[in-house]
Amino acid sequence: MHETDKHPGSIRTEILIGKLLKMGVLISSAIVLVGGILFMMKAAGSQPHYGMFKGEPIALRTVGGIFRETFSFSSRGIMQLGILLLLATPIMRVLLSVLIFIKEKDKLYIVVTSIVLAVLIYSVFFGG
């Protein structure tokens, strides 16, 4: 199928979804960059300990903890928020698709896309 053969609504839909994905990546990248700059400013002059691995603190392992750390201006919390937004971008794309299919009254795609959305949300919260 050639680009000009597409239904005008589907072209608008693709443009809207493309903008959503682009904005998600740009916003999350900017947030990670700000967090990274703050982290480097705080860590300036300190020596890394390469012989010992320390994972993320418990506070940064939950969505609530990430928000708490972000609002307390923790550089790690800000970086984690950026990563969280990056992970949420494809989920938002699927959610937008469900809404578009509802508007178009396309029952088959509403069901299929809703199942995909449910699987994504389940795996985020319960996938371990």
Amino acid letter, residue 107: K
Mind listing the pLDDT tens digit of every residue in the chain (128 residues)?
Answer: 445 455 556 788 888 889 999 999 999 999 999 999 999 998 877 887 778 877 778 888 888 899 999 999 999 999 999 999 998 999 999 999 999 999 889 899 999 999 999 999 888 777 65
Q: DSSP per residue over 47-62, as a string?
A: PP-TTS-----GGGSS
Strand (E) positions, 12-105?
none
The secondary structure of residue 72, as a DSSP letter, is: T
Asked if 101 and 113 touch (Cβ cutoff 8 Å), the reply is yes
